[in-house]
Amino acid sequence: MELKTTPTREEDVLSTYEPKTPLGRLILEAREKMKASGEPFLNEEELLKEIAERRGLRDED
């Protein structure tokens, strides 16, 4: 019996991932452009802050 191993690193997952929908292809393409630009990705906290700022909400720390 052959066991399938699941990639654990992001690059491993994305190297074999094939989007099944046009939206999925657009999202993956946008991600690849962002990565190529060298600009760092936002972490969860930074992303939530960015969303709140775009919606006109203030930080409530």
pLDDT at 5: 62
Using pLDDT thresholds of 50, 70 and 90, give the confidence band for residue 53: very high
Using pLDDT thresholds of 50, 70 and 90, give the confidence band for residue 61: low
Domain parsing of the chain, residue ranges: 10-54
The 10s digit of each residue's pLDDT in 6-46 is 656 777 777 788 999 999 999 999 999 999 999 999 999 99
Using pLDDT thresholds of 50, 70 and 90, give the confidence band for residue 4: low
b (16+ CB within 10 A) / e for 21-59: eeeeeeeeeeeeeeeeeeeeeeeeeeeeeeeeeeeeeee
Contact status, residue 44 vs residue 52, Cβ threshold 8 Å: no
- Round the CA-based radius of gyration of the chain to a whole number and report it: 17
Report the C-alpha gap between 28 and 17 in whole angstroms: 9
